Structure 1
Amino acid sequence: MKKNVFKIWGMALLLVLMTGCAAEFNKVFKSTDYNYRYEYAKQCFAEGKYTRAVTLLQDLITLKKGTLDAQESLYMLGMAQYMDGDYESASATFKKYYQTYPRGIYAEKACFYIGQSLYEGTPEPRLDQTPTLGAINAYQQFLDIYPRSELRKTAQDRLYELQDKLVQKELLSAELYYNLGGYFGNINSNNESNYISCIITAENALKSYPYSNWRKEFAVLIMKSKFQLAENSSEDRRLERYRDAEDECYGFLNEYPDAKESELANKYIAKCKKVIKD
């Protein structure tokens, strides 16, 4: 019984405190003393009350334009939006800061956080990677402008991570083409075009990202697709495609002699030799 009483009193006290805080915030928000509102916004930011800081700063950045607080207020708005998880708005605010104050006090960090904000909002590899490309461009611009920045290492790491996400997107596309090729069965124009699309997608990815950690996975798809293309080929192109598949298998074994797929490559080679010999 006592525990329930204490719980009720605790909830009531919390409600009173929340009501009091809300009333105080509304009073500050309606105040015509802009300096007072600005100091309160800074206090909210320092205390981690980012939503309140954003609400106050969005109005104040216009009022503070041309004053000594102009740069700080705009940069703080961007950081409050970033910390509040509104990455799209944060990126736009940091971009506005950098464009307005390219030599400002916070210019370097603002330039970095344009990319950092976009980075936080990038989707998983299966989805459209337009935001990822935006983040890559932003980080690259930062590295070009501030090559000796203390944030350089972080920007480079993020850049590699984002590029890897693009590679994974291409790998998923290549895998989809390969799987669709098998889905349509034997000797089918859709089947053939899907295997060809898989090969083209994988080969282009290897050219675009030569140092990718996914090189072997692309190589496996190319090898398998070329063999399946030979298997499903019309008579007039059969030998040519089996020879191409055989060469691809040997190339795979040379580059990845210890790969678990080496057994499959040797199996393909044996089949290719038999067909070519006959």
Structure 2
Amino acid sequence: MNRTPLLLAFVLLLSACSNKFSKIFKSKDYEYKSKMAEQYYANKDYSHATQLFEDVFPYVKGTARYEDMYYKYAYSYYYDKDYLNAENLFKNFVENFPTSNKSEECDYMRAYCYFKQSPKTDLDQTNTNKTMQLMQVFINTHPNSARVKDASEIIDKCRAKLEEKDFKAAQLYYNLGYYKAAAIAFANVSDNFPDSKKADEYKYQTIRSYYKYAQMSYEEKQKERYEKVISECRDFTDRFTDSKFSEEVNKYKTHSNNFLNNLKNEQAKKANER
């Protein structure tokens, strides 16, 4: 099948559309340009809509239409997935139109734009933290909003992402054999996310890391480090009475106690030989 005619027709169509927009953009009739900006927005041609909105704003600012046009202007960037600019425009909307019935929505959308920029767990989580901060501000500012439930769910999703990132970092320390760093990192995950469904696992991993650290330590340091293992095991037992890791934790506690008892016996034996 010869596709050349189809390709040519497509190129001609693009050229015609481009020429049409160019004529609209160069027009000095700002009423007409405003109408066309609205039309491009309605047709989901957000790139052309934003250009026209920007061009007519100086002429509609201060009029009754300005608020609605600015609202659509912000959403044009959002729908084009330019979340960085959209966030700033939603913020500006709230600041410029604080009494608008759209102000609450734009306040939420500002935070949501940060959420849309939140990356995978192995990348920097600045936007994730910012999302949580702004969603909490939204909840505090609009406690009766229908969007509070969504805001709370997004905070939970962000918290889960941060939890996963911290866990992966701790696990990496362990896999690399940096057991002290792993123990501290797992302990931080446990402390920072006490209500997590995996809280007992984080505590278990803390114990396992401290145990490996004690094993790898110089003899003169082992006593205090096995005592640390036992202390962590006791804390685990107090906090998690029904954990699937309880049996393993008890083993670490027993092994550590055995080591300390053997060490005590050896020291007593050496003392008697003197």
Please classify the TM superposition score into its range, dividing by the shorter chain length.
Answer: 0.7 to 0.9
Q: How far apart, in 1, do the equivalents of 2:7 and 2:131 lie? A: 44
Q: How far apart, in 1, do the equivalents of 2:52 and 2:198 lie? A: 47
Given candidates 145, 164, 180, the residue that maps to 1:196 is 180
Q: What's the Cα RMSD here?
A: 2.2
- 2:113 alignment partner in structure 1: 117
Question: Measured at CA, do residues 33 and 216 of structure 1 come closer, stay the same or move farther in structure 2, by a change above 3 Å?
Answer: farther
Which runs of structure 2 are paired with 1:96-107 in the superposition (5 Å)?
96-107=92-103
Q: How far apart, in 2, do the equivalents of 1:256 and 1:77 lie? A: 56
Residue 244 of structure 2 corresponds to residue 244 of structure 1: no
Is the CA contact 1:129–1:166 (under 8 Å) kept in the aligned structure 2? yes
Amino acid at match of 2:130: G
Amino acid at match of 1:150: A
Deviation at 1:143, TM superposition (A): 1.1
Residue identity over aligned pairs, in percent, reads 28
Structure number with bigger Rg: 2
Is the CA contact 2:169–2:185 (under 8 Å) kept in the aligned structure 1? yes
Deviation at 1:240, TM superposition (A): 2.8
Q: How far apart, in 1, do the equivalents of 2:186 and 2:31 lie? A: 59
Which deviates more from structure 2 when the two are superposed, residues 15-24 or residues 265-274?
265-274
Is the CA contact 2:200–2:243 (under 8 Å) kept in the aligned structure 1? no
Which runs of structure 2 are paired with 1:62-77 in the superposition (5 Å)?
62-77=58-73
Structure 2 gap ranges (5+):
263-274
Q: How far apart, in 2, do the equivalents of 1:97 and 1:221 lie? A: 47
Q: How far apart, in 2, do the equivalents of 1:28 and 1:73 lie? A: 18
Residue 207 of structure 2 corresponds to residue 211 of structure 1: no
Secondary structure of the residue aligned to 2:195 is: coil
Q: How far apart, in 1, do the equivalents of 2:123 and 2:112 lie? A: 19
- 2:260 alignment partner in structure 1: 276
Is the CA contact 1:167–1:214 (under 8 Å) kept in the aligned structure 2? no
- 2:21 alignment partner in structure 1: 25
Secondary structure of the residue aligned to 1:226 is: helix
Deviation at 1:256, TM superposition (A): 6.5
Residue 162 of structure 2 corresponds to residue 166 of structure 1: yes
Which runs of structure 2 are paired with 1:9-158 in the superposition (5 Å)?
9-158=5-154
TM-score, L = length of structure 1: 0.85
Deviation at 1:239, TM superposition (A): 2.3
Deviation at 1:250, TM superposition (A): 5.1
Q: How far apart, in 2, do the equivalents of 1:214 and 1:59 lie? A: 54
Is the CA contact 2:75–2:86 (under 8 Å) kept in the aligned structure 1? yes
TM-score, L = length of structure 2: 0.86
Deviation at 1:166, TM superposition (A): 1.6
Secondary structure of the residue aligned to 2:146 is: coil
- 1:190 alignment partner in structure 2: none
Deviation at 1:257, TM superposition (A): 4.5
Secondary structure of the residue aligned to 2:62 is: coil
Structure 1 gap ranges (5+):
183-193
Q: How far apart, in 2, do the equivalents of 1:144 and 1:91 lie? A: 19
Q: How far apart, in 2, do the equivalents of 1:58 and 1:52 lie? A: 10
Is the CA contact 2:135–2:155 (under 8 Å) kept in the aligned structure 1? yes
Which deviates more from structure 2 when the two are superposed, residues 233-242 or residues 39-48?
233-242
